[in-house]
Amino acid sequence: MTVIVRSPAWAPCHGCGAFRRRRRCQPSRTSAGLLDLFRGGSEAQTLPEEPQGTALLRWLEGRGLPPQKLAAVAVPGAGRGLAATQPISKGEALLRIPQQLVITPAAAAQQSSLAPLLESTPLPAWSVLALWLAEARAAGPAGEWWPYIQLLPDHTGSVLEWSEDEVGWLAGSQLAEAAAEIRGAAAASWQEMQPLLAQAAAAGLGPPGAFSREALQSAFSMLLSRLVRLPSLGLGPPSAAAGQARQAQQAGAAGEPPGTEALLPWADLLNHSPASTAFLDWDPAEAAVVLRTDRRYWPGEEVHISYGQKTGGELLLSYGFTPKPADNPHDGCKLRLALRPGDPAAPAKAAALAAFGMGPSQLFPLRMAAAPFELVHYAALAAAEVGSEQEAGQLAQRLFGAGDIPPTLQQPALEAVVAACQAAMKAYPSSLEADRAELAKLEAADAAEAAAAAGQRQSGGSDAGQQRRQRRHQVLQVLVYERQVLARTAFVLQQELKDLRRMAGR
């Protein structure tokens, strides 16, 4: 029996760790106020210490933050970051941010001038945090958290800040759906808080103008790029009844993951590396938020965390940056498969899929050299002729439980996925060649601009113009790579089909 899509060259997603590139680490000298960063081996870059970040550190230390092995630095193309000031070993606990410096939704609600209203009209966590951020910004230097607030960037580049026209660049990609979802969620949250804001205005609560649409939109964008989920915060000891109840409540009826979302001053200066597997979390033993490193660092090296195993497009929508695909082992795209609408067995198949956590229309992640085996197995269920719910359930069990495709379904399943890839490629409004050509032009223009900047010559474009061009560049990079992944997926599956047909012809 042929096992499809499980050859080493075509491994399931979790097998793509082979792409991970390790940076060579070398010790470097730290000179007064300057930190040397080694990127990609021997090429040294100087990362200047960042004064506002240092001021924040001092302020936090005055409020209980323990001594740090990290300094705030300016990172070209990424704003601020944190770099090691002393050798750091693999697995070491860094940061140790105590509870009083963690801005959870509960803390934000308590500190908000809208506290009495939030008690009677509870809002979702990210709305409460957005109100807190908007109020802290409006309070200015007089506000309690100003040393933190003042170093937040004016813009994050998240999709909440894009014009409609720029969002339109995503047409054809599944990212268009994701962008609409994010923008829709922000708009819905804004609507949801209107009754509370009307009450606040009537009672004269909060700084004037603090809760305008623009202020809240900017706060939502800031949260998209900075909010951290702490899976272990808010969970009691497993044996304690109260803790268990809270855990159950936090796991949520809606399938929300357990834990708490929070803003983390200082820790939120950490930038993302696609190669990193280090995460921030609450450590009950330390009673603090801790970063446990996944590698050793020499003084001067920027310390990275993982924002999650995200594609370049996902990072672009939430964080406003996209790594080069070659640097991101998690890059790829999503492909939608669905049950045929006219299929009389669709309800039975939908019930069978539901038992495995899948829907009648389902997105599957594709990587350049990997796809989940469920992709083809889903297509097999969609293509199968089944007469009853029981038969659909048995087939789903064989496909997703045992991971096996009946031989008669192998060919139609592969053909269906190839067709889906081809249809997905056709959905982009401009051709891959045209987008590649525009991308090459933008890359050349950016290289020329970088050279001009290195020679300290003034660059020509306006800020808004440059930002738009940079965004176009990022979007094109993502859209070109998505189609390369779709084309590669179709190609690999076509090879599998050829093999199948050859074997059938023997």
Ligand X SMILES: C[S@@+](CC[C@H](N)C(=O)[O-])C[C@H]1O[C@@H](n2cnc3c(N)ncnc32)[C@H](O)[C@@H]1O
What is the nearest approach in angstroms of ligand X to the Cβ of residue 81?
A: 6
Residues numbered 258 to 317 that lie near ligand X (CB under 6 A) are 268-269, 271-272
Residues 358-417 contacting ligand X, CB under 6 A = none
Nearer CB in complex with ligand X: 80/334: 80
Distance CA 496, CA 499 (A): 5
Q: Considering the complex, state which of residue 275 and residue 366 has its C-beta at the smaller distance from ligand X.
A: 275
Give yes or no for residue 79 binding ligand X (CB under 6 A): yes
CB of 304 to ligand X, least distance (A): 7
Contact 281, 255 (CB under 8 A): no
Q: Which stretch binds ligand X (CB under 6 A): 79-87, 105-113, 122-130, 201-209?
A: 79-87
Cβ-proximal residues to 312 (8 Å cutoff; 6+ apart), any chain:
322, 323, 325, 328, 331, 477, 478, 481
Decide whether 48 or 252 has the Cβ nearer to ligand X.
48
Least gap, CB of 232 to ligand X (angstroms): 20
In the region spanning residues 145 to 184, those forming contacts with ligand X, defined by CB under 6 A, are 153, 156-157
Asked if 37 and 44 touch (Cβ cutoff 8 Å), the reply is yes
CA angle 153, 458, 37 (to 5 degrees): 55
CB atoms within 10 A of CB 42: 8
Q: What does the per-residue mask of binding to ligand X show for 179-218, with x meaning CB under 6 A?
A: ----------------------------------------
Which helix (H) or strand (E) segment is 479 a member of? helix 463-505
H/E run at residue 194: helix 194-203
Work out whether 450 is an interface residue with ligand X (CB under 6 A).
Answer: no
Beta-carbon contacts of 457 under 8 Å, excluding residues fewer than 6 positions away, are none
Contact between 225 and ligand X by CB under 6 A: the answer reads yes
DSSP for 206-252, please give it. SSTTTT-HHHHHHHHHHHHHH-EEETTTT---TT-HHHHHHHHHHH-
Instruction: Tell me the H-state helices in 8-163.
Output: 51-61, 105-111, 115-120, 125-139, 146-149
Stretch that binds ligand X, among 74-82, 93-101, 369-377, 427-435 (CB under 6 A): 74-82
- The verdict on 471 binding ligand X (CB under 6 A) reads no
Type of residue numbered 176: A
Residues touching ligand X, count (CB under 6 A):
17
Q: Which stretch binds ligand X (CB under 6 A): 72-80, 99-107, 280-288, 348-356?
A: 72-80
Contact between 77 and ligand X per CB under 6 A: yes
> Which residue spans within 263-408 are E strands per DSSP?
271-272, 280-283, 288-292, 304-305, 333-338, 361-366
Q: Give the three-class secondary structure for 2.
A: coil
CB of 368 to ligand X, least distance (A): 20
The least distance separating ligand X from the CB of residue 159, rounded to whole angstroms, comes to 12
First to last CA, the chain: 14
User: Does the footprint of ligand X cover residue 255 (CB under 6 A)?
Assistant: no
Nearest distance, CB of residue 305 and ligand X, angstroms: 9
Q: Which two tokens stand for residue 326?
A: 């070659």
Is residue 330 a contact residue for ligand X (CB under 6 A)? no
Query: Shortest approach of ligand X to residue 130 CB, angstroms?
Result: 16
The residues binding ligand X (CB under 6 A) are: 77-81, 153, 156-157, 225-226, 268-269, 271-272, 319-321
